[in-house]
A and B are shown apart, each in its own frame.
Chain A
């Protein structure tokens, strides 16, 4: 036992002597009373001696105890639980267990960090008294309060603990602590001491040091003790498959182009001090697997990329699951990555243009739609199927069969037509928009912006570009857009002959990274966006000039075919790319329309719920792998790859200093004793409750002393018997008056 004010504690102990000293002092100072009837007094004393002595000792003990207790209470004692005579009172223990991806790192004995933390948590629970309450929170994102509010059913908590599985998501310690903080604050009136255990190795994958902890226990009025397991000190070598990129997002069956080419990116984290060897395998059943490629890691090397190619000849239309995997290492969940390659026999593209009947005139009057038809289907063997739809009567059913649409006459699209186009984009279709060649004053832009929820603000009027009739060339240095990435170095040569004479630019709302092509004067000429800014659905591409020679020389240049094909094919693949999910995701935004459920690798089923127009999963995805998407009739809508976030698998050891600095924002933490996980529980309880208890006890004893003192001196008994002090009750004077004295 210790005290906040040791001096007061000593004073309290010394105060025990006060009643004795007072007794002795008064005893010395009192003047003796000469008493005649001493023989009767002595006889009375002899008769009552034992009782009086007992009473006096009892009163003295109570008086001493009252003073001692007062002194001790003011000294604010810090009692260890074991020192409490009746055992510790009810405690509340919160166990926050990191079951994030980094917790699956195994040691030399093939034991994971999570197993170790579960064991520590079990020890803590086992050491608790029956009256103690325990809560259990898993820290993997999304955090889950497995047991909360705190329960006294320790067996149930242990059962939940043993069933705790590692998640493939990163740990969200801040959210877990916030949950604990919230739970504590809900029980502010509960005076029980609170112990918060945070069990983690604090590897880089579990600690997001870019986000300071927001859950603060510092201002907590409760007695909250924060205990964290000691951070791992040694980094663990781990190689991750960070990404698997295909050149073409949508492959065409039998294509001999770059559709089957993939780049596998690897990252080595943790201990990179040694040379190492990783073997990368690419698998895409039923296609033949290419030969494995070995990556030799040099000392200090942390990143590597491997190009591998699948032979797509003879593949049937559909989905091909491409898996890039490496050898097993300390963390296995990030050793594989899944990609779904969509293989189509043909791309269906509609040109939303009003056909002009009759032979067109010269090249200068060749309509925009015609340019696009020729660019999309330049000759035999093309795997792009082009259909025509009048923009004034866009058919919803017809649009459903398409993967892309080129709108050359936006001025003719009705309100309903824009709504159909919005549905088309939301369903993953790619929409190419350009000004109508007839546009002088564009009135359709407002309807388009409203229907597609675009942040762009177009110029109201198409204007000539450049200072003379030759217009403006495209910039020599074009933005590095993914949509044109396959053109590579040829892009400069292709864009060089193109002149832009006229344009209807977007004046506001164009983000820098969404610019595909730029004019020489820096004005964005071609750009992309999504409907409503959502990551779900297809792309919207806008070319600021109509494909007409009055506007630009592009239709007559070689770049036209390349541009249309690349943008359409890569744009169509964009929606497909958005389907990739990660463990921890609960939002089903990347799923195809009509998705009703997901079937995971182990047969686990996740249900898609639609609330307020937003699709969510009934529970977050916990495991990486390939999931099949089913509609409400259990018909397959395709498959998606669920891949771990590479950051979650970082195995660098941060060290105690950095972790302490990070944790410090939430309160004062102490490290868990590695040899005795329960040591902190046997620590100190608060002074407040003990002091209060001591004060109350002292008060009760003081009251008891008053009553006993009166009782022993018969004052209380007389009060009880006569209802008031009757000094003559035993007096002989009353007898005398009655018998001997005249009235």
Chain B
């Protein structure tokens, strides 16, 4: 029997690999392992770090941290130094509503059977990875699993072993309930007093007005927000060929239709929803990232964090 090839960085975080992990904790560790492997290749700059001071360059320092603007003005080499914001907490809000049960990525697991990789699977893997990264830099991390309301809550902490609590909270299943982001955000805001970075991982199949209100309240309290919109590829393509009944996963009912005749209208509406959501987030200076469940989590996450870092620098430079 041929020996399986060793996993590459992307493999750790690909749906095909993660879907094979039966236990959620194993899956979470796989995500962490993937991120660790990725850090070796691409140094982590952190998403909750802020500029602290300059110090003079000494031989052996990484020239990437040189402040070229200071060099241009004073002809001296200084390094930019960052420090962790110890008062910045991260609260992950993971959507477990009925629509998150949807998935079309089909992975083959060890026993040869098929397993569907759902949007919720993608969201929890992403949540585990995010919490791990935050805990790595000593941030306090809290977790909220919500649907129509808060289903489970993990208080913020940076203690050792907290990640296991978070993973344990994520190890659940979606319910047949609708998404109510506004209510969930309100409940989360009620529990924080200091400045918090909220990370919402959801398909955002909710009313845009409610989402706008929630964003406005988050901004009003001075918090930051990152929106990860998790969508299945089939939801974005809708290329069914044969007529079939479609049944809503949030108790919307059943609809018999020829999907070909509705494809254009559906995609227009979904696309308009997503564009509006993105525009809304940009309007509040929040970060927005759409994620396809058929893609690996790692590259998307790395790219997003790098972009966020670059934006942070520009904002302070």
Q: Which residues of A contact B (CB under 8 A)?
A: 26-27, 30-45, 47-48, 52, 55-56, 712-715, 727-728, 730-733, 735-736, 739-742
- Give the residue of B246, B268, B289, B304 whose beta carbon is less than 8 angstroms from that of A41: B246
27 contacts between A and B (CB under 8 A): A33-B246, A34-B101, A35-B247, A35-B249, A36-B102, A36-B249, A37-B99, A37-B235, A38-B246, A39-B248, A42-B255, A44-B268, A45-B257, A45-B265, A713-B261, A714-B264, A727-B239, A730-B238, A730-B263, A730-B267, A730-B271, A732-B267, A732-B290, A733-B233, A740-B303, A741-B295, A741-B299
Q: A33-B246, A741-B300 are in contact. Are A735 and B262 (CB under 8 A)?
A: no
Report B-chain residues with C-beta under 8 Å of the C-beta of A732.
231, 236, 267, 270-271, 274, 290
Give the CA-CA distance A550 to B311 in the complex, in Å.
162
Q: Is the CB of A736 within 8 A of B101?
A: no
CA distance A40 to B268 in the complex (A): 9
Q: Which residues of A contact B314 (CB under 8 A)?
A: none
Q: Which residues of B contact A39 (CB under 8 A)?
A: 205, 248, 250, 252
Would you list which residues of chain B between 196 and 220 have a CB under 8 Å from chain A? 203, 205
A740 x B289 contact (CB < 8 A):
yes
Query: B9 → chain A, closest Cβ, in Å?
Result: 13
Whether the pair A731, B295 counts as a contact (CB closer than 8 A) is no
Measured between beta carbons, the chain B residues less than 8 angstroms from A740 are: 289-291, 300, 303-304
**Interface: B20 (CB within 8 A):** no
Bound complex: CA A55 to CA B304 (Å): 45
Whether A44 touches B295, Cβ cut-off 8 Å, given contacts A30-B243, A713-B258, is no
* B316 adjacent to chain A (CB < 8 Å): no
B114 within 8 A of A: no
B229 shortest CB reach to chain A, Å: 10
A714 and B263 contacting across the interface, CB-CB below 8 Å = yes
Q: Which residues does chain A contribute within 8 Å of B289, judged by CB atoms? A: 740
Could you say which of B248, B269, B274 contacts A35, with CB atoms under 8 Å apart? B248
| Contact A32 B266, beta carbon cutoff 8 Å | no
- Asked if A32 meets B254 with Cβ closer than 8 Å, knowing A44-B262, A714-B261, the reply is yes
Do residues B303 and A741 form an inter-chain contact, with CB atoms below 8 A?
A: yes
Q: Find chain B residues with CB under 8 A from A31 CB.
A: 244
Q: A712-B261, A732-B274 are in contact. Are A40 and B246 (CB under 8 A)?
A: no
Known A33-B245, A35-B249; judge A40-B273 contact (CB<8 A): yes
Give the nearest-CB partner of B254 in chain A.
Answer: A32
| Also in contact, A32 and B246, with CB within 8 A (given A732-B236, A741-B300) | yes
B65 on the A face (CB < 8 A):
no
Q: How many residues of B contact A (CB 8 A)?
A: 55
A40 contacts B261, CB within 8 Å? no
User: Once bound together, how far apart are the Cα atoms of A38 and B267, in whole Å?
Assistant: 12
Q: Does B33 contact A (CB under 8 A)?
A: no
In the assembled complex, the Cα of A31 lies from the Cα of B256 at a distance in Å of 11
Interchain CB contact under 8 A, B248 and A38: yes
Choose from A36, A40, A55 the contact partner of B232 (Cβ within 8 Å).
A36
- Is there an interface contact between B257 and A52, defined as CB atoms closer than 8 Å? yes
Residues of chain A lying within 8 A (CB to CB) of residue B221: none
Q: A40-B270, A730-B267, A742-B299 are contacts. A715–B252 as well, Cβ < 8 Å?
A: no
Residues of chain B having any CB pair with chain A under 8 Å: 98-102, 119, 203, 205, 231-233, 235-240, 243-250, 252-258, 260-271, 273-274, 289-292, 295, 299-300, 303-304
Q: Which of B205, B236, B244, B249 sits near A731, CB closer than 8 Å?
A: B236
- Complexed CA–CA distance, A244 and B4 (Å): 131
Please name the residue on chain B nearest to A713 by beta carbon.
Answer: B260
Chain A nearest Cβ from B231, distance in angstroms:
7
Enumerate chain A residues within 8 angstroms of B263, measured Cβ to Cβ: 714, 730
Report how far A56 CA is from B261 CA in the complex, Å. 10
Contacts of B261 in A (CB 8 A): 48, 52, 55, 712-714
- One of A30, A52, A56, A731 near B267 (C-beta < 8 A): A731
A38 to chain B, nearest CB (A): 3
A731 to B232, CA, bound (A): 12
Q: Kindly report which residue of chain A lies nearest to residue B262, judged by CB atoms.
A: A44
The answer on a CB contact under 8 Å between B292 and A40 is no
Among all A-B residue pairs, the 4 with the closest Cβ atoms: A36-B102, A38-B248, A730-B267, A713-B260
Measured in the bound complex, the distance between the Cα atoms of B246 and A45 in whole Å is 11
| Given A37-B205, A740-B303: A43 touches B269 (CB 8 Å cut-off) | yes
| Closest CB in chain A relative to B304 CB, distance in Å | 8
- Which A residues lie within 8 Å of B257 (CB)? 41, 45, 52
Residues of A with C-beta under 8 A to B253:
38
Cα(A146)–Cα(B245), bound, Å: 73
Interface centre among A26, A40, A43 (most CB of B within 10 A): A40
Cα–Cα distance between A429 and B54 once the two chains are bound (Å): 159
Task: Kindly list chain B residues whose C-beta atoms are within 8 Å of the C-beta of A741.
Answer: 295, 299-300, 303
A735 with B235: in contact, given A36-B100, A37-B99 (CB under 8 Å)? no
Closest to B278 in A: A739
B307 nearest CB across to chain A (Å): 9
CB distance from B3 to the nearest CB of A (A): 31
Q: Give the one of A42, A732, A735, A736 with max B CB within 10 A.
A: A732
A730 to B257, CA, bound (A): 19
CB-based contact A48/B265 at 8 Å: yes
| Assembly CA distance A741 to B300 (angstroms) | 6
A44–B303 contact, CB under 8 A? no
Q: How far is the CB of A560 from chain B (nearest CB, A)?
A: 120
Complex CA distance for A35 and B256, rounded to whole angstroms: 12
